[in-house]
Amino acid sequence: MTDIAYENEYFDQNHFIKDFKEFVGIRPKDFLGNENMALSTLFYK
* CA 34, chain centre distance (Å): 12
Gap between the Cα atoms of 32 and 45, Å rounded: 9
Predicted TM-score (pTM) of the model is 0.64
Q: What is the pLDDT of residue 2?
A: 78
Q: What is the pLDDT of residue 8?
A: 84
Question: Which of 6, 27, 5, 9 lies closest to 18 in space, CA to CA?
Answer: 27
Gap between the Cα atoms of 6 and 25, Å rounded: 21
Buried residues in 7-33 as b, exposed as e (16+ CB within 10 A): eeebeeeeebbeebeeeeeeebeebbe
Q: Please, what are the averages of pLDDT over each run of 10 residues along the chain (45 residues)?
A: 82 89 87 68 56
